[in-house]
Amino acid sequence: MTSPPLGFRETMLLGLAGLASFIGLWSFLSGSGIVPAQFLPGPLDVASRFIHLLTSPFAGATLPAHLASSFQRYAYGVLLAAAIGVPLGLLMGFFRLLDDIVTPIFDGLRFIAPIAWVPFAALWFGTGIGGPIMIIFAGAFPPCLINAYRGARFVEPRLIEAARMLGTPSSRMILEVLLPAAVPSIIAGLRVSAGLGWQSLVGAELIVAAAGVGFMMVQAQGSVQTPTVMAGMIAIGIVGMLIDILLRQGEGWLRRRRGLES
Amino acid sequence: MAPLVSRKTLIGGMTVIGLVALWFGLTTLTGLVTGARFPSPAEFWFSLKQINGRGYAGSTLASHAVHSLKLVLMGFTVAVMTGVPLGLWMGWSRRVEAFINPVFLIIRPIPPLAWIPLAILWLGLGDAAKILVIWFSAFVPSAINAFTGVRNIDKPVLEAARMLGTPRWRMVREVILPASLPMIFTGLRLSLQASWTTLVAAELVGALVGVGFVLNMAQQDIYPGMILVGMVTVGILGWATTVLLARIERRALAWNVAARD
């Protein structure tokens, strides 16, 4: 708290002024010809191209169709990352031997940017749907694993001791003690994963794909269609934002249901 | 009596040895994984020798690596020099925050990698386009964390400093900056990571030199040995810069008890 919060009106006015100067500067740069309109189309051009792309195809499909094929890969990749990362993380949190074995491998791979897997992904799974899924997986996997692991490791020891004293077998311990206790951490990890996965998807499609928004943008870049490139960026931004909002809602709902916040 | 090596190191070491043995076993010994899918240790070694001697994709591994490293450091520096001050300013002044936040909210959801085609359109395949994209991607984490750092400063600290009549400049230099430094470093770490991801992606999309370009050429030549060389290089560079940043952080935050463990 550095200065007292502004009133609602002042915040709105300043925010609008900020937006107006952003759009004004953008329009000025392209309209006045300081930057050639071919490279920086004005906001209206981009908006009209966006609407145009909704119905007429570019690079083989309309924008919604490109988005749909992107989203399909994305969903597979993130689900796969969650399906492997979360259980593995829980098991690592419970069995120390597994932890000691997996951690060095994981630490070694951690510093390789997910996007650097592109050549092997293309080689192993092709450029259709398999390759991009692997890249998304590489981007989304670490937070799934780390958060499930942390969630399981930092369960209150008393709970584990009580369960152990009552003779709970390992399988039930993981499913009925560690998993429920780790849920908030896991959900937070999934949200990070979802964001990173979406980023990786864009990267993957720029390099290897024959459909999808990223592919559309590369094609547009090749034929110097800047408005289409920018429309693609906007579409990617909107979908990414929707995913984040949905997951935030889900997280909030879950936390409320478990009485973690009111 | 404490054992000579900790259990962790022992199991970790055995894992690494086991993996290398598995690699050797699957490729060279049994041929279950063919060289067209994943290189054998010998093929990897051959690729490494080739790129270090004759060179690959236009130059040697060292010059590719140095080029990429240079671009990351330049983009990262530009991003930090702009992102951190803006974040601090937004944290300090509610007016600045209200003015900039909506623009931020619009631009932020666009993934950094999505700027690559636009950067190539604007600046071509050279270094300038890469620095621009790294700047865009590394700017946001720097700014956001600096902002959060200022906002999380204990109110009494600021009030005490203000009550003692601390002048503006000393306030920034001796109160605000040190107090938000732990958060700033968190931002820098994220920025560095983003810088590497973006650079590798940008070099894969279009470049004439750099580790990403090596990966790209190796992919086109279907040359698994060289792909592995490129990936290992990316990993080592990312690791080395992260370690360096952690060193700097430890030195800069030597006074901070919370960061010591």
Of B37, B118, B150, the CB nearest to A229: B118
Percent of chain B predicted with pLDDT > 90 = 40
Of A11, A109, A217, the CB nearest to B117: A217
pLDDT at B261 over 50: no
The pLDDT score that the predictor gives to residue B134 is 94
Percent of chain A predicted with pLDDT > 90 = 28
The pLDDT score that the predictor gives to residue A145 is 93
Q: How confident is the model at residue A7 (pLDDT cuts 50, 70, 90)?
A: confident
Query: From the CB of residue B174, how many other CB atoms can be counted at a distance below 10 Å?
Result: 12
Q: Is residue B54 part of a domain?
A: no
Among A6-20, B171-185, B186-200, top mean pLDDT goes to B186-200
Q: How confident is the model at residue A165 (pLDDT cuts 50, 70, 90)?
A: confident
Contact B231 A117 (CB under 8 A): yes
Average pLDDT for B2-9: 74
The pLDDT score that the predictor gives to residue B81 is 95
Contact B121 A229 (CB under 8 A): yes
Q: Is residue B228 part of a domain?
A: yes
Average pLDDT for A2-21: 82
Chain B: closest CA distance from residue A255 (Å): 23
| B contacts of A198 (beta carbons < 8 Å) | 111
Q: 3-class DSSP state for residue A153?
A: helix
Contact B102 A117 (CB under 8 A): no
Q: Is residue B28 part of a domain?
A: no
Q: What is the DSSP string of chain B?
A: ---SS-HHHHHHHHHHHHHHHHHHIIIIIS-SS-TTTS--HHHHHHHHHHHHHT-BTTB-HHHHHHHHHHHHHHHHHHHHHHHHHHHHHHHH-HHHHHHHHHHHHHHTTS-GGGGHHHHHHHHTTSHHHHHHHHHHHHHHHHHHHHHHHHHTS-HHHHHHHHHTT--HHHIIIIIIHHHHHHHHHHHHHHHHHHHHHHHHHHHHHS-SSSHHHHHHHHHHTT-HHHHHHHHHHHHHHHHHHHHHHHHHHHHHTTT-STT--
Q: How confident is the model at residue B139 (pLDDT cuts 50, 70, 90)?
A: very high
Percent of chain B predicted with pLDDT > 70 = 96
pLDDT at A9 over 90: no
pLDDT at B76 over 80: yes
| A contacts of B205 (beta carbons < 8 Å) | 206-207, 218
The pLDDT score that the predictor gives to residue B258 is 55
Of A19, A104, A221, the CB nearest to B121: A221
Q: Is residue B88 part of a domain?
A: yes
pLDDT at B1 over 60: no
Q: Which residue has the higher pLDDT, B2 or B60?
A: B60
Domain range for B210: 63-252
Q: Is residue B39 part of a domain?
A: no
Q: Is residue B123 part of a domain?
A: yes
Nearest chain A residue to B90 by CA: give it.
Answer: A2
The pLDDT score that the predictor gives to residue B61 is 92
**Tally of domains in chain B:** 1
pLDDT tens across A115-141, in order?
999 999 988 988 888 889 999 999 999
The pLDDT score that the predictor gives to residue A35 is 79
CATH number of the domain that residue B191 is part of: 1.10.3720.10
pLDDT tens across B26-36, in order?
888 887 888 77
Average pLDDT for B195-209: 90
Contacts across the A-B interface (CB distance below 8 Å) = 175
Lowest-confidence segment of A19-28, A170-179, A238-247 by average pLDDT: A170-179
pLDDT at B259 over 70: no
Q: Is residue B236 part of a domain?
A: yes
Contact A4 B94 (CB under 8 A): yes
pLDDT at B152 over 50: yes
The pLDDT score that the predictor gives to residue A261 is 58
The pLDDT score that the predictor gives to residue A262 is 47
Q: Which residue has the higher pLDDT, B14 or B260?
A: B14
Name the average pLDDT for chain A: 87
Q: How confident is the model at residue B80 (pLDDT cuts 50, 70, 90)?
A: very high
CA distances from B154 to B11, B150, B257 (A): 44, 9, 16
State the angle between helix axes of A213-222 and A179-207 in degrees (0 to 180), rounded to the nearest 10.
20
Average pLDDT for A17-32: 88
| B contacts of A202 (beta carbons < 8 Å) | 111, 113-114
Both tokens of residue A197? 């996965």
| B contacts of A214 (beta carbons < 8 Å) | 114
Q: What is the pTM of this model?
A: 0.85
The pLDDT score that the predictor gives to residue B192 is 94
Best interface-test mutation with B: which of A70, A101, A111, A230 has the largest number of B CBs within 10 A?
A: A111
Name the average pLDDT for chain B: 88
Chain A: closest CA distance from residue B90 (Å): 10
Best interface-test mutation with B: which of A29, A50, A103, A115 has the largest number of B CBs within 10 A?
A: A115
Nearest chain A residue to B153 by CA: give it.
Answer: A1
Among A5-14, B4-13, B194-203, top mean pLDDT goes to B194-203
pLDDT tens across B217-247, in order?
998 898 999 999 999 999 999 999 999 999 9
Sort B36 into a burial class: Cβ within 10 Å, 0-12 / 13-18 / 19+: exposed
pLDDT tens across A208-232, in order?
777 889 999 989 988 888 999 999 9
| A contacts of B111 (beta carbons < 8 Å) | 198-199, 202-203, 236-237, 240
The pLDDT score that the predictor gives to residue B66 is 95
